[in-house]
Structure 1
Amino acid sequence: MRNQPGILVNTPDVELWPAYLLRARGNRDARTLARAHRVLRRKRDGRYLVAELPEGLMPLLPRWRREPGIDAALDALDAVPAHARSGLQVGTLPLHRLHERMRTLGVDADAYARRTGLPLVAEPDRLALAGFDRYRRPLWLHVDAARAWARLRAAAHRDGVVLEAISGYRSHDYQLGIFERKRARGLALDEILAVNAAPGYSEHHSGLALDIGAPGEPPAEESFDATAAFAWLTGHAGEHGFAMSYPRGNPHGIVYEPWHWRYRPAAGRA
C-alpha cells in the first residue's frame, strides 16, 4: 500500500481511490484490486478506469486513455509518493464547468446565487478517510473535519450518545446526479432546489459538512430533532467546531435540516 492508504486524491474528472476500499465488480476486478495500490475512478458514474499495480498500470476500461481528465489524474498519481512524504497539504480544485452544468438543469446560476446567498464551493484535492457511514461506505472528509468528527463522536460516546454519519463529501458530479435522478422520478426543479443545493453550491463539496443520524432513526428527516443525539449536538457540537447550517427560517430558503452540520475551524483549532 501507499504511505497514506486513507487518502482520496481528487481531480476534476477522476478520483484516485485506495484499492482496498473498493468493491470488486467481477472476478477480474477482484484479482486486480487484491494487488492494486490505487484505482482511478471516473467521478460522474464511478466506473473503474485503471488500477496501479506494483508492476505498472492495469486497464479496467477499454480506451481509458481517452477519458476526459485522465492526464491530470495520472499526474496526480505520480505525485502521491512525494506528497505522502511531505505531509498532507490540502488545496482546492478549480470551479470549472459549473455554469454549464446548471444550464443543463435549467438553473440560472447568477439568479440562483442572488436568491439564496449561497457561495460556490470548491472541492478539496485531498480527502481523508473518516471511518465509514451508516451504510458501510467510506466516509471522506476534509482532513480537519475528519479529525474533528472523530473527537465529536468520542465526546458523544462518553456521554452515552451514539452519532452516525449518513454522508460526508459529495462531488459536483454526485450532486448533479441527485438532481438527474429526482428529475427522472418526476420531481419539479423547484421541489428539488428546496431540499438540495444546486451542484457547486452544496457544503458537502467542501468535505467540511456531514449529515448526522442516530441508530434506528430514518436518515435526513426532521424527526432527528427529537432524538437524544440532536439534543447532545445542540448543546456540545459548537465545542468541537460544528454548527447546524440550515436552521428553521434560514436566509438561504433551504428547508430545516437538523441533521446537516458543518465544521468551521476556528483560529488555533485543527
Structure 2
Amino acid sequence: MRPASHLLVNTPDIEIWPGGLLRARSNHDARALSRARHVLRRKRDGQYLAADLPEGLLALVPRLRREDGIETALFVLERLREPQRAGIDAIGELPLDRLQERLHALGLDETYAQRTGLPLVAEPTMLTLAGFDRYRRPLWLVPGAARAWRSMHAAALLDDVVLEAISGYRSHDYQLGIFERKRARGLTVEEILTVNAAPGYSEHHSGRALDIGAPGEPPAEESFENTAAFAWLRDNAPAYDFAMSYPRDNPHGIVYEPWHWAWRGA
C-alpha cells in the first residue's frame, strides 16, 4: 500500500491531489490549500473544486454537488480518509468511453489511429510523485516509472550530467486543451498533430513518458540532441528501461523528438 501523501488519485473527471502541492490562485485558495489533506481538481480546466480539511469538505466552487463526476471522486476520497487504508492498493486504468467525443471536437475520427499506427492509451487510476519538473511543478508518473526516473536522474548526476524533467503525466482533457490553445494561436489541427498526438493517443497519458531537458536549453527542441544530457541518455537510458519514442522518420508522422522518453518496464 502506498502512502496517500504521495499519490495523485485519478477519476474520469476529477483528480484528487495530496495537500501541500498545488499553488494557490487567490487568498481564499491559499487559506484552504494550506490546511488541506487533499484537493479535488477538475481535469478539464484545472479548477480547484474542494479542499478536504480536518473539519470536513470545503467547497471552492458554487454548486459543487452538480460537478460532473463528483460522486465518484467523493467516494474515492472517503477511502483515502480511512486511517486503516491511508492509501490505494493497486493501479487500474480509467475507461476510454469519452475518446470519440474528444476526437470529434478536433474534427478527427477513428481513422486517425489507422493513419498513425498509434495505440490508444488509457489514464492510470493512480500516479505517484516522482519529484518536480523544471518549473517546480509536481511530476507524476506510475510507480515503476517514478522509481526508474529517480534512479536514472541520480546516476546522471554522478556523471555530472543534469537531466531536467519538463513534463510527465498528462490527462486526455489536458491534451485536448493543448490543441485548443494552439488552434487559438492560428495553427491547424494537422499542424499540431506533427508535434502532439491526439487526445487518447499520447504516451504522456500512461504516466510512463516524460519530456527531458537540460539546464539552459529551451524545452522540446531538436537542439536537445546536441547536449551532454542527450548523449548520456542515448548511452545509459536503456539500463533503466527508458527508450526514445519518436526517432527520425518514425512511422507515426510525429516529428523527431529527442526529448521524449518512455519507460518500457513491467
TM-score band by shorter chain is over 0.9
Contact 2:214/2:227 (<8 A) preserved: yes
1:149 and 2:154 equivalent?
no
Match of 2:95 in 1: 94
TM-score by length of 2: 0.96
Q: Distance in 2 between matches of 1:22 and 1:85?
A: 20
3-state SS, counterpart of residue 262 of structure 2: strand
CA positional deviation for 1:89: 1.4
The 5-angstrom pairing of residues 54-65 of structure 1 reads 54-65=54-65
Match of 1:126 in 2: 126
1:160 and 2:165 equivalent?
no
**In terms of mean alpha carbon deviation, does 26-35 or 145-154 score higher?**
26-35
CA positional deviation for 1:188: 1.1
1:105 and 2:109 equivalent?
no
3-state SS, counterpart of residue 20 of structure 2: helix
Q: Distance in 2 between matches of 1:62 and 1:39?
A: 16
Match of 2:198 in 1: 198
Could you list the per-position Cα deviations for residues 198-252 of structure 1 after superposition, in whole angstroms to 9, with x for gaps in the alignment?
A: 0000000000000000000010000000111100100000000000000001111
The 5-angstrom pairing of residues 24-103 of structure 1 reads 24-81=24-81, 84-85=85-86, 88-103=89-104
Percent identical: 69
Q: 1:34 to 1:86 in 2, by over 3 A?
A: closer
TM-score by length of 1: 0.95
Letter in 1 for 2:242: F
Q: Distance in 1 between matches of 2:96 and 2:238?
A: 30
1:239 and 2:239 equivalent?
yes
1:187 and 2:179 equivalent?
no
Q: Distance in 2 between matches of 1:86 and 1:211?
A: 28
Q: Distance in 2 between matches of 1:153 and 1:203?
A: 20
Q: 1:53 to 1:85 in 2, by over 3 A?
A: closer
Match of 2:6 in 1: 6
Contact 2:127/2:141 (<8 A) preserved: yes
Contact 2:3/2:87 (<8 A) preserved: no
How many residues in Structure 1 have an aligned counterpart in Structure 2?
264
Letter in 1 for 2:55: E
Q: Distance in 1 between matches of 2:88 and 2:12?
A: 22
CA positional deviation for 1:4: 2.3
CA positional deviation for 1:77: 0.6
CA positional deviation for 1:84: 4.4
Q: Distance in 1 between matches of 2:41 and 2:115?
A: 35
3-state SS, counterpart of residue 144 of structure 1: helix
Match of 1:171 in 2: 171
Could you list the per-position Cα deviations for residues 68-113 of structure 1 after superposition, in whole angstroms to 9, with x for gaps in the alignment?
A: 00011011111224584576411111112111111111012x2110
Q: Distance in 2 between matches of 1:5 and 1:85?
A: 9
Contact 1:3/1:81 (<8 A) preserved: no
Match of 1:117 in 2: 117
Q: 1:39 to 1:86 in 2, by over 3 A?
A: closer
Contact 1:127/1:140 (<8 A) preserved: yes
Contact 2:130/2:140 (<8 A) preserved: yes
Unaligned residue ranges in structure 2 (runs of 5+)? none
Q: 1:43 to 1:87 in 2, by over 3 A?
A: closer
Runs of 4+ more than 2 Å apart: 81-88
Letter in 2 for 1:114: Q
